[in-house]
A and B are shown apart, each in its own frame.
Chain A
């Protein structure tokens, strides 16, 4: 079967044994990116530098000294991470043409391991959104829209509707990264997660999306949205891969004072796990989710394996969206203040005064969503509102975080919830509601983990009635990624999520592999 469809782990073995070279792998991925351009997953493709990196990797393999498991592995990075020498736009006019002078720590760490950076992926402007539809480079299309599984189930609502115009969204805001991994153009991608931005598109695109504990991975170089909640996110096709990438990224960074100083020990996940000693908590929910059925099925899987499954109460989680709304806009108001046209980014021609230049630059550079959040944030931070909105939200945040502490203290090891309310909606339907409404709906199951700083992961579980991916979310204790991923891997093995059947990839593989000996990797 196709080499690309293999998980990274297996590709590493292939690279080591010389069955494929880093440059071949890189070229194939670049070529696949070209043939899946309609997905609009990439904003910038760094073809030249990627090939150079691949060549360097190849030299190392020939000498028998690869840097590690990630050496030669093609990856993609969300376009809100700084990448030296490569344009970083955050999908905004404000940063069009901005060439980063440095690498974000997370990016640097991956490059230091020999990973090959293929390009920067598309997102909602400044990571504000849950659809990857509000960036200046246009929306990202979910690869599953073009899958045999979706096409088979597609029932047009009117005779003017056809599959081509009914493509579904990736979810967001790391939609480009999720689509890139899902369509096999790379083996792993970096996303960011502030309210669910890695897990949400992971669920919709049928890939693994890990949100690490706040403080585990450096945010240095990740253009900030909400400093107290942002984390770099990891998107891969299987849980093992996520563990490997986590191993390369986690750890103290002197350049990010919000990273903890504890030693981080990279870990390998056991192939066989004993879940019978676990206690799985399922939070009571008051809203309807199409995924409710799957949570029940998952609960049964755990029960049958001997685990204890209980219903738990997180009474303040229902306020996490409102709380997030205030804290996020407040931090955004502060973080976006740096964009004034003076040192980098877009600068207006207006030059009557500093203030009018700043105002015009920001008028021209930001979209409605960003402007709206800045203005709301400033409102909540006004002297007359500070106590009733900002401080109040910070108090509610503590209540939400405490709910989790109580549940984990009562003996629950892992929480299980659906990741999203429903499967991916068609783009035409998604844009009928505004960004804030959508974000409020879509983040409802994921946001609380950011509020409390907890690690959480989306595991692709099954296909919906429409043939689209459904994911379930596991939330763990702070800094207990090993336990979280062990459970996630066990679950992944039980559900055996189907592989996406994409014509583009099939055609591609056929051409590329016509003369290739088929090697069996298991």
Chain B
């Protein structure tokens, strides 16, 4: 079954990455088809595995500050900054809706 335009639009919002062209959409369709092969495997009673190290304890370290004070270093790689802040465009504006966005999905 084909992925609906609503889902594609939703994915573009979540990923903040666009499909770019029909090939991008086709790529997703193929990826889903490929992944569907998992259905053939019987996993009854099998627990999901997060990590191969699951039998070991995750450990904590002491809550001591051992490094830091590298503000200048970290700011060096940012394009837009003011004093010690990274500068972002206004944040409370949602991504334009499908109809208003430049996206291949409009033609679907």
Residue positions of A touching B, CB distance < 8 A: 98-99, 101, 214-215, 228, 254, 257-258, 260-261, 316, 319, 322-323, 325-326, 329, 333, 340-345, 347, 350-359, 362-363, 366, 368, 371-372, 374-376, 378-380, 382, 388-389, 391-399, 401, 434, 436, 440, 452-453, 478
B48 in contact with A398 (CB, 8 Å): yes
Contact with A along B88-107 (1 / 0, CB 8 A): 11110111100000000000
The answer to whether B15 and A357 touch across the interface, beta carbons within 8 angstroms, is no
Q: Tell me which residues from 65 to 93 in chain B have a Cβ below 8 Å from any Cβ of chain A.
A: 70, 73-74, 76-80, 86, 88-91, 93
Residues of B near A352 (CB, < 8 A) are: 89-90, 93
A329 in contact with B18 (CB, 8 Å): no
Contact at B53–A214, with CB atoms within 8 Å? yes
Do B28 and A101 touch (CB < 8 A)? Answer: no
Contact between A375 and B53 (Cβ–Cβ < 8 Å)?
no
Which residues of B are interface residues toward A (Cβ below 8 A)? Answer: 3, 7, 10-12, 14-20, 23-24, 27-28, 30-32, 34-35, 37-41, 43, 46-53, 56, 58-59, 61, 70, 73-74, 76-80, 86, 88-91, 93-96
Q: Which residue of B lies closest to A399 (CB)?
A: B46
Q: With A343-B74, A363-B17 known to touch, is A254 a contact of B46 (CB < 8 Å)?
A: no
Give the nearest-CB partner of A380 in chain B.
B35
Q: Is the CB of A354 within 8 A of B90?
A: yes
A386 nearest CB across to chain B (Å) = 11
Q: Using Cβ atoms and an 8 Å threshold, which residues of chain B touch A371?
A: 17-20, 24
Given contacts A319-B38, A351-B89, 15 further A-B contacts (CB under 8 A): A99-B77, A322-B37, A342-B78, A343-B77, A357-B88, A366-B17, A368-B24, A371-B18, A378-B15, A379-B28, A393-B38, A394-B48, A398-B48, A399-B41, A434-B27
The DSSP consensus for interface residues of chain B is: loop
Cα A358 to Cα B15 with chains together (Å): 10
> Could you say which of A261, A322, A453 contacts B38, with CB atoms under 8 Å apart?
A322
Separation of A442 and B50 alpha carbons in the complex (Å)? 25
Given A99-B77, A351-B89, A391-B48; A316-B41 close (CB under 8 Å):
yes
Does A257 contact B16, Cβ atoms closer than 8 Å? no
Are the CB atoms of A363 and B41 closer together than 8 Å?
Answer: no
With most chain B CB atoms within 10 A of its CB, the pick from A101, A254, A319 is A101
Cβ of B89 and Cβ of A376 under 8 Å apart?
A: no
Q: How far is the CA of A325 from the CA of B58 in the complex (A)?
A: 27
Q: Which residues of A contact B30 (CB under 8 A)?
A: 436
Q: Which residues of A contact B47 (CB under 8 A)?
A: 395, 398
